[in-house]
Amino acid sequence: VHFTKEAGVLDRILGKSSQKIYAVDGVTLKIPAKTTFGLVGESGCGKSTVANSLLQLVDPEAGEIIFEGENIIEADRQKTKQLRRRMQLIFQDPISSLNPRKTAEEILEAPFRIHPDLKKSVESLDEEIDRLFEMVDLSRQARHKFPHEFSTGQARRIGIARALSLRPDLLVCDEPTAGLDVSIKAAVINLMIRLQEELDLTYLWISHDLHVVKHISDRLGVMYLGKMMEKGDSDVIFREPLHPYTSALFRSSPGVESDEKENFVLEGEVPSPINPPPGCSFHPRCQHAMDVCRQQEPDLQKIDERLVACHLYD
């Protein structure tokens, strides 16, 4: 996924004035097959916009999304549809995403009705639905329940099974464990890890939950105000974050960084993308800000096996 500098993703148009807001600007992600890319950053940093544009839910103004060698943005509608099916979204609040008048079984049957070729590809729809329920460890009884009767854990599993029914290669998981209590969260994460191995899935994992991201991701990207601040091998960055924003983010999540100060708070708020600060967009909140930071935007440069956008390393 590559969004060209200064021609990133137009996220929304403000009222009648068509002021452009670049929710994502100059961001590049490479997600090797069968691996997990963790994307972190505070709310409003453009993580979901990356996901939504990858899934064609918003149109990037410029850039490219290469999926197995094909540029999705340039592909014709037929091709886009084919490619799009192989990328599925798993998001938080699964219950509201499920049709309240349909049972779990009917919810899982729906994709087969929408995609006749998918239905043709399975010998027996009943067996296929059984297989999907088994894949996500859902009991037979759950088949006839309606969404309001699902527990949060069941709802999340049904959401996952529905995404899997389309035989995706890439799952975009946007806050997949948000709102789950600890034991259900652990079970869902273990399920996702097992499914990745069994089905050779690739994950883009977007989350505020750094503990989960640390556990699950192979590569990591840290975004701030629509830009990539640090990117590289997840273990390398968690071991020693170099960007002041990454450090602050880790320290504000207790137990993530080994030498953290207790009760660290990331002071201030993410500035508005309508009027981003000049220079390094993190400078109003950065303890290390220098004159150059207020004037010049730092480029991503390679430092110790990862990319970092910060003048401290110039």
Give residues in contact with Mg ion (CB under 5 A): 48
The least CB distance from residue 275 to ligand SF4, in Å, is: 17
β-pair type (70-71, 66-67): antiparallel
286 binds ligand SF4 (CB under 6 A): yes
Buried/exposed code over 50-74 (b: 16+ C-beta within 10 A; e: otherwise):
bbbbbbbebebbebebebeeeebee
* Strand boundaries in the chain, DSSP class E: 9-13, 20-24, 36-40, 66-67, 70-71, 87-91, 170-174, 202-206, 219-224, 227-233, 300-303, 306-309
Using CB under 6 A, which of the segments 6-14, 156-164, 171-179, 304-312 binds ligand SF4?
A: 304-312
- Sequence letter at residue 152: T
Alpha-carbon gap, residue 290 to 286, rounded angstroms: 9
Single residue of 298, 299, 301, 306 touching ligand SF4 by CB under 6 A: 298
Single residue of 293, 300, 306, 307 touching ligand SF4 by CB under 6 A: 293
The least CB distance from residue 26 to ligand SF4, in Å, is: 15
Q: Are 308 and 243 in contact (CB under 8 A)?
A: yes
Single residue of 73, 178, 289, 303 touching ligand SF4 by CB under 6 A: 289
The least CB distance from residue 157 to Mg ion, in Å, is: 22
Q: Are 187 and 20 in contact (CB under 8 A)?
A: no
Single residue of 7, 118, 256, 312 touching ligand SF4 by CB under 6 A: 312
- Smaller CB distance to Mg ion: residue 48 or 165? 48
Q: Which partner in Mg ion, ligand SF4, none is near 118 (CB below 5 to 8 A by kind)?
A: none
What DSSP state is assigned to residue 224? E
- Sequence letter at residue 196: Q
The least CB distance from residue 270 to ligand SF4, in Å, is: 14
Site string for ligand SF4, 60-79 (x = CB under 6 A): --------------------
Single residue of 283, 300, 306, 307 touching ligand SF4 by CB under 6 A: 283
Sign of the Cα torsion 240, 243, 246, 247 reads positive
Q: Which partner in Mg ion, ligand SF4, none is near 226 (CB below 5 to 8 A by kind)?
A: none
The least CB distance from residue 43 to ligand SF4, in Å, is: 19
- Smaller CB distance to ligand SF4: residue 199 or 290? 290
Q: Are 26 and 6 in contact (CB under 8 A)?
A: yes
Judged by CB under 6 A, the chain residues 227 through 246 that form the site for ligand SF4 are: 244-245
* Closest CA relative to residue 161, chosen from 128, 187, 135: 135
The kind and range of the H/E element at 104 are: helix 104-114
310 binds ligand SF4 (CB under 6 A): yes
Residue 313: CB atoms within 10 Å: 13
- Smaller CB distance to ligand SF4: residue 91 or 282? 282
Site residues, ligand SF4 (CB under 6 A): 244-245, 280, 282-283, 286, 288-290, 293, 298, 310-312
